[in-house]
Structure 1
Amino acid sequence: MTGPADTMPCRVCGHDVPAGRFCERCGARLVRERGGGPDWLRGSAFVAAPGEKVLQPSLVSSLFPHLPRRSLSTFRLGLGLVFVLLVVSCVFHWYVPMVAVATFAPLLLFAIYLAETGLIVDLPWRVWALTVVLGLVVGLGWALLTAAIVKESYSLGLGSEVPTARLVRDAVVIPFGGLLVMQLPTVLVRLTRPPIRESLYGFAIGVLGATVFAVTVTMVRLMQEIDAGITISGQSVTDLLIEAGVRGLTMPLTAASVSGLVGIALWYSRRPGTSRIRHLAAGGLVLVVVAAAYANVGVVEVLAIASELQLLVHVALALAAVVALRVGIQVAVLHEPQDPLHPDLPILCPGCGHVVPDAAFCPACGVAAHTASRSSRDARRRDRPQPTTELVEQ
C-alpha cells in the first residue's frame, strides 16, 4: 500500500468508504445490482460465504457459519462421509450402526466445528457445560414424559393409517411440544447473561442444546424399542434408507435450523438507526416458516401416504428450514452492532483471502467480521499483513 485507498460514498449509510464491491460499514453493495433485492437483506451475497446467495440452501455454510473458506470443503467431505456410512449400514441391514451414525454424527460434527473455529474458547466453559447439561436433562425429561405415547405408536410404521384422535395428538401436540421444549436449554442459558451478545454465538448455543436434546431423546427411545422387543428383520433396504434419511439428515437439519434461529433471536441486538419493525417482521416470518415446517413433519409422519413421498416431503421441509435459517443469519448479522472500526489497519479476510481494511464487512466479498470467531479476529489482528499489500481488489 503506497498511498490512501480510493473512496466513494455508500448509497445506503452515506459514509465515505474504500472503493470496492461492498460497504465496509453496513455491508451494502456500493453499486446496486439488478435483481439484487432489498438492501436490508442483500440477497445476492450471503454474509457467511462469498459467492453464495441468501436463498441458496447450502448446508455447510448455513450450519457452520463461522467456518473460514479453507475449511468448507473439509466439512462437506464430513457430511458426505456420514451419508455414505448411512447408506452402507442400510444396505447391509446394520440397524444399530445406522442409528448410531444418524444420532451421534450431527453432534460430533458440531463439536468439531466449535473447536475448529475457536468458538469453544471464546465463551466460558460454564456456558457450554450448562448448555450440554440442560440439553441432557430436558431431553431425558421429555422422552420419559412422552414414553407411553411413543410406545403406543411403535406398531405404526411410516405410511400406516392412524385414528383421528391419535392423528391430532401425534401430528400436532407432540411435534409442537417437542419444538417448544427443545428451546428450553437456549432460553435458560440466555438468562445467565453470557458475556458475548453476537447473534451467531446464540446460534451456536441453540444448535448445541437442540442437538444434545435430540441425541438424548433418541437414545431413550432406542432403549424403549429394545425393551419392547421391536426388531427390524422384516424391513427392506428401501425402508431402512428412508428411516436413515429422516433420522440422520432431515430431522437434524430441521431441528438445528429452528433452534439456531431461536438462539439468533435471543442474542440479537439492533444497531441504532435500523428499522425495528422491519426486523421484527422478518424474524417473525422466518420463525413461522420453520415452525410450520417442523409441525408438518409430524403431520407427514402419521398420514397414510407412501413412505417414499413422505421422505420427499421431509427433504423439502428441511431445505425450507435451512433457507429460513440463512435469512435469519443474514438479517441479524447485517444489522447488529459491530466491532470498533480500524479502517486504516489491514487484516486478512477469512472469506476471500484478500487483505482488506479492518472493518465490519469485507469490501471485496461482503463477508461479515462477525462470521469469524473472536479468537480468529484477535489472532488475525495480532498478525496483520505487511502494509505493502494491496487493500482491496478492484
Structure 2
Amino acid sequence: MTEDVGHARHQATMPCPACHHDVPAGRFCAHCGGQLSPAVGGGPTWLRVRHYAAAPGEHVLQPSIVSSVFPHLPQRSRGAFRLGLALVAVLLVSLSLTQWYIPMIAVAIFAPTVLVALYLHETGLLGDLPRWLWVLTAVLGLSVGIAWAVLTRSIVAESYSLGLGAEIPTLRLIGDAVVIPFGALLSIQIPAVIVRMMRPPVSETLHGFVIGLIGATMFTVATNVVRMVPQFGETSVAGDQPVPAMLLEAGVRGVAEPLTGLSLGGLVGAALWYQGRRRRNALLIGGLGLLIGSAAYASVGLAQAYRLPVSVQFLIHITFAAVAIVALRVGLQIMMLRENAEVYPELPILCPSCEHVVPDTRFCASCGVSCLAAPTTSRVARRRERPQPALEAVDR
C-alpha cells in the first residue's frame, strides 16, 4: 500500500486480489467491487455473495423485498418502505378476518402500484429518462394487461365457477391452470420488449429494470381490475367467503402475485438493457428467470386445479415469490458487478448508502455498493456539490 499525504489528490492505494488493479484503500475494490481482504468461505468472487451491490450489509441470497424490488432507494428511505409493506400486510389480514372482501381486493390490487409510484417519486427516477418513455411503458403495460384479461376472461370465469361446484373436465382444467399463468408470464414481458425494440436513450441495467418493473406493475393492475370489477356485484364475492379463502386470496393477490410478477419483469428488463461484459450471459439470466417463473406459475396453477389445502397453496405461492426475488437479486448482482459506469476516481463523492466520502468510482470503497444503484439525477447532484475538504482514504 502506498500513500502520499502531501498532495490532497493522492490517496492511499492497495492491489485488488481479484482484478489486480491498484485501487483506493478500503474494504472493497473501487474498480471491480471485490473484497480487498476476502473472508474465508465468502463464496465465488464473481458473485460476491455476502455483499449485495444495491444495499450495504445484505447477502445476495437474502430475500429482502425492499432492496430487491426498489434497488434505487437510498438507505434512509428503506425503513419507511418496510413500514409501508408491513402496513399493507396488516390491512390485508384485518380486512380478510372481518370479511370485507371488496376493500381487501382494492388494497391487494392497488397497493403495489402505489408503492411503485412512491418509489419513482422518492428516488427521482422520473428525471433520469424522458417522460414519454415512462408514459409509453405504463400505457403498454395497461394495454397488454387489459387485452390479456379480455382474451382469457371466459377461461378464468370457468375456473372460478369450479369453486362454486360446477363440473369442468379435469384435463381441460389442468391445461388451463398451466397455460393461462404461463401465458401471463410471457405477456407481462411484452411492454419491456416493445420499448427495447424502439431503442430509447437507456444505457443502464437498472433503468431497464425499472422499465420492466413499471410494465409488470401496470399489466398486473389492469388484469386484476378487468377480472374482478364485474364480480363485485355478485353475492358470492361480496363478503360471504370463508376467512381462510379470503386470507389466501389476500396473500396471493396482494403479496405473492405482485412480488413474482414484478421481480421477473424487472429481471427481464434489466437483461434486455445490460451493456456490460458478456452480454450473452445477461440474456441467459433473463431466460433462466423466465424458466423459474414458468415452473412457479405452473405449480401454482396445478395447486389451484387440484384444490390443495389453503395453507399448502399459500406456501407454494410464497415459496415461488421468494425464489423469484432471489433470482432477481442474483441477476442484478451479476450485471452490476460487470457493468461499466462513468467515473472520476481522482475526485471525492458522498456515498448515499453508507454516507462516507469516497472516490467517485464504480463501487464504494467503504460499503461496496455500485454507483449505478443511485439514480442518474442523484449522481449529477452529488458531483455538482462534491465534499470538501479533500478526500481521505476510507478506513479498512
Aligned length: 390
Contact 1:207–1:259 under 8 Å retained in 2 = yes
Q: CA deviation at 1:259?
A: 0.5
Q: CA deviation at 1:243?
A: 1.0
Instruction: Note if 1:327 corresponds to 2:333.
Output: no
CA-to-partner distance for each residue in 1:275-331, whole Å, 9 max, x for gaps?
566555555444422332233222222223101111011111110110001001101
Look up the match of 1:369. 371
Look up the match of 2:358. 356
Q: Secondary structure at the match of 2:265?
A: helix
Q: Secondary structure at the match of 2:36?
A: coil
Structure 2 segments unaligned to the other structure (5+ residues): none
**For the structure 1 residues 161 and 380, does the alpha-carbon distance in structure 2 shift closer, same or farther, using more than 3 Å as the test?**
farther
**For the structure 1 residues 215 and 276, does the alpha-carbon distance in structure 2 shift closer, same or farther, using more than 3 Å as the test?**
closer
Look up the match of 1:344. 346
Given residue 362 of structure 2, which amino acid in structure 1 is its aligned partner? A
Contact 1:162–1:302 under 8 Å retained in 2 = no
Instruction: Note if 1:66 corresponds to 2:69.
Output: no
Q: CA deviation at 1:229?
A: 5.7
Look up the match of 2:228. 222
CA-to-partner distance for each residue in 1:110-154, whole Å, 9 max, x for gaps?
011011111111111110110111111111111110111111122
- Distance, in Å, in 1 between the alignment partners of 2:115 and 2:165 is 31
Q: CA deviation at 1:155?
A: 2.0
- Mean CA deviation greater in 33-42 or 345-354: 33-42
**For the structure 1 residues 282 and 217, does the alpha-carbon distance in structure 2 shift closer, same or farther, using more than 3 Å as the test?**
closer
Q: Secondary structure at the match of 1:204?
A: helix
Look up the match of 2:315. 312
- Distance, in Å, in 2 between the alignment partners of 1:278 and 1:177 is 25
Q: Secondary structure at the match of 1:155?
A: helix
Given residue 386 of structure 2, which amino acid in structure 1 is its aligned partner? R
Q: CA deviation at 1:171?
A: 2.2
Instruction: Note if 1:183 corresponds to 2:185.
Output: no
- Mean CA deviation greater in 90-99 or 370-379: 90-99
**For the structure 1 residues 132 and 317, does the alpha-carbon distance in structure 2 shift closer, same or farther, using more than 3 Å as the test?**
same
Instruction: Note if 1:7 corresponds to 2:28.
Output: no
Look up the match of 2:214. 208
**For the structure 1 residues 134 and 286, does the alpha-carbon distance in structure 2 shift closer, same or farther, using more than 3 Å as the test?**
closer
Given residue 37 of structure 1, which amino acid in structure 2 is its aligned partner? G
- Distance, in Å, in 2 between the alignment partners of 1:75 and 1:268 is 27
Alignment equivalent of 1:289, drawn from 287, 292, 296: 292
Q: Secondary structure at the match of 1:343?
A: strand
Contact 1:257–1:290 under 8 Å retained in 2 = no
Contact 1:160–1:304 under 8 Å retained in 2 = no
Given residue 375 of structure 1, which amino acid in structure 2 is its aligned partner? T
Contact 2:159–2:173 under 8 Å retained in 1 = no
Kindly report which structure 2 residues correspond to 1:1-394, keeping only aligned pairs within 5 A, or say none: 3=7, 4-157=10-163, 163-226=169-232, 230-271=236-277, 275=278, 279=282, 282-339=285-342, 341-388=343-390, 390-394=392-396
Given residue 355 of structure 2, which amino acid in structure 1 is its aligned partner? G
- Mean CA deviation greater in 4-13 or 306-315: 4-13
- Mean CA deviation greater in 58-67 or 153-162: 153-162
- Mean CA deviation greater in 342-351 or 276-285: 276-285
Given residue 127 of structure 2, which amino acid in structure 1 is its aligned partner? V
Given residue 29 of structure 2, which amino acid in structure 1 is its aligned partner? C
Q: CA deviation at 1:14?
A: 1.7
- Distance, in Å, in 1 between the alignment partners of 2:35 and 2:116 is 32
Q: CA deviation at 1:366?
A: 0.4
Q: CA deviation at 1:207?
A: 1.0
Contact 1:346–1:391 under 8 Å retained in 2 = no
Given residue 207 of structure 2, which amino acid in structure 1 is its aligned partner? Y
Contact 2:30–2:362 under 8 Å retained in 1 = yes
Contact 1:44–1:52 under 8 Å retained in 2 = yes
So what's the TM-score if we normalise by structure 2?
0.93
- Distance, in Å, in 2 between the alignment partners of 1:203 and 1:133 is 17
Q: CA deviation at 1:103?
A: 0.5
**For the structure 1 residues 385 and 160, does the alpha-carbon distance in structure 2 shift closer, same or farther, using more than 3 Å as the test?**
farther
Structure 1 segments unaligned to the other structure (5+ residues): none
- Mean CA deviation greater in 199-208 or 166-175: 166-175
- Report sequence identity in percent: 55
**For the structure 1 residues 158 and 297, does the alpha-carbon distance in structure 2 shift closer, same or farther, using more than 3 Å as the test?**
farther
- Distance, in Å, in 1 between the alignment partners of 2:248 and 2:107 is 14
RMSD, matched Cα: 2.1
**For the structure 1 residues 290 and 28, does the alpha-carbon distance in structure 2 shift closer, same or farther, using more than 3 Å as the test?**
farther
- Mean CA deviation greater in 253-262 or 153-162: 153-162
Q: CA deviation at 1:227?
A: 6.2
Given residue 197 of structure 2, which amino acid in structure 1 is its aligned partner? L
